[in-house]
Amino acid sequence: MKQVYFTAGPAEMYPTFEKHLQDAVAQQLGSISHRSQKFRDIYRFTVEQLRTLMNIHESHAILFTGSASEIWERVVLNCVEHESFHLVNGSFSKKFFEYAVSLKKYAHKQEKLFGEGFDYAEVEVPEYAEVICVTHNETSSGVQMREPDIHKLKRSNSKKIIAVDMVSSAPYPDLDFSVVDTAFFSVQKAFGLPAGLGVWIVNERCLAKAEKLQKHEDLTIGGHNTLPMLWKNFKNFETPATPNVIGIYLLGKIAEDLNNIGVDTVRKQTEEKYKLLNKFVETSQNFTPSVVEERHRSRTVIVANTKLPSGEVIAEIKKSNMIVGSGYGPYKDTQIRIANFPAVSLEQVETLIQVLKKIDD
């Protein structure tokens, strides 16, 4: 029996995934050279579809890595000489901070309690921080930072680079890439694809910084996937190392499918489904929203406290062939997480809510 995955990544596959995968196999994409015109055409196509979908200007390159957490390291190595600054409001934003500490940078953080989010006005950016690292959607706690707040943060710190982790929300957030220097995601979240591909959107300012740092004698920007090397290859629609060709192909095809629906419609559908889930959680007997402030609640990963142990709730839902996630880390037993990605339909969300309602009774 097929399950519907409401997990936050790996997640439900996008409905057209299987067809595109069959096409990829029929085209023998697992065997083609990454120095061939066929590959360059695939890379170019995926870039074009992502530019349309997410309104990414020509000022930004679109680069491929192994994962999104790899990009945390790339951002720190390539864009931070001494100091970074991190808005920490959950486990993923904390890991981004910890990567910077491991790489021996002076990493500053402003931290919130689990379930609380940031507004622009309360953020205090350290004077010498070179990069501001924000997480649009904190997958562990279900907290979002709204796009206008991210844009204001950059506008009032225009000399600094802003890096946005949009791993578990892209393409939902409407980021303004005339403001945002760099952002990144991986494909096993809201794009509904198998894991194994990170996407790094990055502008010339970041490149210039990396080139400057590369000249320092007492500093390294790393050996693998340095920004100058990724960028140089990108200009030719190639990658330094052998890439996940099928992943890049599938991403282009799913982005095309989303473009055919239209990103505005995709966003509207996400909001509709969010409203149903949020309303249910707000009025439930067993569940309560884990994020108190509505404006900070993620639209793509709904986190709810549960009075019944999460294991019981998850097992009950599973009887109806639906999989929801447990809470993250220490919240494993007391919370559930429901991904609201484009791969799950309004009807599937309604079915899930029916089952959750039965648990409530």
Ligand X SMILES: *Cc1c(COP(=O)(O)O)cnc(C)c1O
Q: Are 115 and 144 in contact (CB under 8 A)?
A: no
CA count, 13 A, side-chain hemisphere, 59 = 14
Pick from 77, 100, 134, 167 the residue near ligand X by CB under 6 A: 167
Residues in 3-22 at the binding interface with ligand X, rule: CB under 6 A:
9
CB-nearer residue toward ligand X: 168 or 233: 168
**Taking CB under 6 A as the rule, does residue 135 contact ligand X?**
yes
CB-nearer residue toward ligand X: 75 or 353: 75
Closest separation between CB of residue 215 and ligand X, Å?
Answer: 29
Contacting range for ligand X; rule: CB under 6 A; set: 40-48, 98-106, 163-171, 239-247: 163-171
Question: Minimal CA–CA distance to 205: which of 339, 328, 41, 79?
Answer: 79
**Taking CB under 6 A as the rule, does residue 201 contact ligand X?**
no
Closest separation between CB of residue 165 and ligand X, Å?
Answer: 5
Pick from 56, 68, 80, 248 the residue near ligand X by CB under 6 A: 68
Q: Are 154 and 179 in contact (CB under 8 A)?
A: yes
Helix axes 263-283, 346-360, angle to 10 degrees: 10
Task: Return the number of other C-beta atoms located less than 10 Å from residue 199's C-beta.
Answer: 26
CA distance 53 to 254: 10
Q: Are 11 and 348 in contact (CB under 8 A)?
A: no
**Taking CB under 6 A as the rule, does residue 39 contact ligand X?**
no
CB-nearer residue toward ligand X: 165 or 257: 165
**Taking CB under 6 A as the rule, does residue 165 contact ligand X?**
yes
Contacting range for ligand X; rule: CB under 6 A; set: 39-47, 65-73, 104-112, 341-349: 65-73
CA distance 231 to 131: 20
The three-state (H, E, C) secondary structure of 34-49, written as one string: CCCHHHHHHHHHHHHH
Contacts 24+ apart (CB under 8 A), 45-50: 45/252, 45/256, 46/248, 46/249, 46/251, 46/252, 46/255, 47/237, 49/252, 49/255, 49/256, 49/259, 50/199, 50/201, 50/251, 50/252, 50/255
CB-nearer residue toward ligand X: 90 or 284: 90
Closest separation between CB of residue 135 and ligand X, Å?
Answer: 5
Contacting range for ligand X; rule: CB under 6 A; set: 30-38, 61-69, 235-243, 279-287: 61-69
**Taking CB under 6 A as the rule, does residue 244 contact ligand X?**
no
Order of all β-strands in the sheet with 60-65 = 60-65, 198-203, 182-186, 161-165, 131-135, 83-88, 106-111
CA distance 80 to 73: 10
Closest separation between CB of residue 283 and ligand X, Å?
Answer: 28
CB-nearer residue toward ligand X: 167 or 356: 167
Pick from 27, 52, 55, 67 the residue near ligand X by CB under 6 A: 67
Pick from 168, 233, 298, 300 the residue near ligand X by CB under 6 A: 168
CB-nearer residue toward ligand X: 67 or 286: 67
Beta strands in 196-273 (DSSP E): 198-203
Residues in 82-101 at the binding interface with ligand X, rule: CB under 6 A:
92
Pick from 186, 226, 270, 284 the residue near ligand X by CB under 6 A: 186
The number of residues making up the chain comes to 361
User: What spatial distance separates the first Cα and last Cα of the chain, rounded to whole Å?
Assistant: 27
Site residues (CB under 6 A) for ligand X?
9, 67-69, 92, 135, 139, 165, 167-168, 186, 198
